[in-house]
């Protein structure tokens, strides 16, 4: 029995395209690895030497200008795929935001395996197409939305992505939701193309307007999802 049988993302990651024996072969060329917050798995500009599946945790994909400004260009969650198969250099770094566990492969090994398993390539293609769609939608936010719209869009997206983690009983307040963000204020700013001060001001504005509550630095309670969605533009 391979370790994959116990993998929590077995049926959601690209591995879902493989049967038992194929999975064993893939398992043979991969290994799991833990990453601590702030630790990087891949650096911007280096040539692509490894790819991975996310098993647990949240990681950011980010690029920097020469003078140090950062833009987070993607955020990956369990079952997501990271890295750049089939040559080239990776255009962005990959860094853990939380404690994370990933299943890493040497890119060369993975490339060879993928070419022999079209069903895996198909899954990877579907995933990549979805990621491209999501990324392009984010460009509208970066290019055309105001700070208020960016913040609202961000909180709406986080609600969708983080799902029902720690949901309150939805009786008297059906759409009240509780989020624990995997981001610092600076990281939120780097996702939205804003400064940390602007993000902070938007948070306090939303709190003063009764749309959200901020019980702690990393937690947000959404009191009025409709108002938030309306502000998202």
Partner DNA sequence: CGGCAATTTGACTATCCTCAACAGGGGTGG
Partner DNA sequence: CCACCCCTGTTGAGGATAGTCAAATTGCCG
Which of 119, 135, 146, 180 touches DNA (CB under 7 A)?
Answer: 146
Length of the chain in terms of residues written: 233
CB 148 within 8 A of CB 231: yes
Any contact of residue 214 with DNA (CB under 7 A)?
Answer: yes
Of 145 and 201, the one with the shorter C-beta distance to a copy of itself is 145
The span from the CA of 111 to the CA of 143, in Å, is 35
Residue 124 interacts with which of a copy of itself, DNA, none, CB < 5 to 8 Å by class: a copy of itself
Of 10 and 233, the one with the shorter C-beta distance to DNA is 233
Any contact of residue 98 with DNA (CB under 7 A)?
Answer: no
The span from the CA of 140 to the CA of 4, in Å, is 38
**Site residue total, DNA (CB under 7 A):** 20
Any contact of residue 106 with DNA (CB under 7 A)?
Answer: no
Q: Between residue 159 and residue 188, which ones bind DNA under the rule CB under 7 A? A: 184-186
Residues 6+ apart with CB under 8 A from 9: 15, 53, 54, 55, 78, 79
Any contact of residue 131 with a copy of itself (CB under 8 A)?
Answer: yes
Q: How far is the CB of 97 from DNA (least distance, A)?
A: 12
Taking each helix axis as running N to C, give the angle between helix 118-144 and helix 147-162, from 0 to 180 degrees, rounded to the nearest 10: 150
Any contact of residue 204 with DNA (CB under 7 A)?
Answer: yes
Of 135 and 186, the one with the shorter C-beta distance to DNA is 186
**First vs last Cα of the chain: how many Å apart?**
50
Residue with token string 């030497």:
49
Any contact of residue 144 with a copy of itself (CB under 8 A)?
Answer: yes
The span from the CA of 181 to the CA of 176, in Å, is 16
CB 177 within 8 A of CB 159: yes
204, two tokens: 């306090």
The burial of 220, by beta-carbon neighbours within 10 Å (0-12 exposed, 13-18 middle, 19 or more buried), is given as buried
- Interface positions with a copy of itself (CB under 8 A): 61, 63-67, 69-71, 73-74, 84-86, 88, 91-92, 115, 118, 121-122, 124-126, 128-133, 135-140, 142-145, 192-193, 233
- Interface positions with DNA (CB under 7 A): 146-148, 184-186, 193-201, 203-204, 214, 216-217
């Amino acid at each position: 029995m391979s370790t994959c049988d116990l993998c929590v993302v077995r049926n959601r990651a690209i591995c879902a395209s493989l049967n038992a024996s194929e999975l064993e072969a893939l398992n043979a060329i991969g290994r799991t690895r833990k990453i601590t917050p702030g630790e990087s798995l891949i650096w911007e500009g280096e040539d692509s030497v490894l790819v991975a599946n996310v098993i647990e945790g949240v990681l950011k994909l980010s690029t920097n200008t020469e003078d140090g400004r950062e833009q987070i260009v993607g955020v990956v969650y369990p079952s997501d795929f990271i890295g750049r198969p089939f040559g080239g250099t990776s255009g962005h770094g990959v860094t853990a935001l939380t404690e994370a566990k990933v299943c890493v492969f040497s890119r060369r090994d993975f490339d060879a395996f993928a070419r022999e398993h079209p069903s895996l390539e198909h899954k990877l293609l579907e995933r990549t197409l979805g990621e491209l769609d999501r990324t392009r939608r984010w460009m509208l936010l970066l290019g055309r939305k105001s700070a208020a719209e960016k913040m609202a869009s961000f909180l709406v997206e986080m609600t969708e992505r983080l799902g029902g983690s720690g949901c309150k009983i939805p009786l008297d307040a059906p759409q009240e939701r509780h989020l624990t963000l995997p981001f610092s204020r600076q990281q939120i700013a780097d996702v939205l193309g804003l400064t940390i001060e602007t993000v902070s001001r938007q948070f306090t504005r939303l709190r003063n307007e009764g749309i959200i509550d901020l019980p702690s630095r990393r937690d947000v309670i959404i009191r009025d999802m409709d108002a938030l969605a309306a502000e998202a533009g």
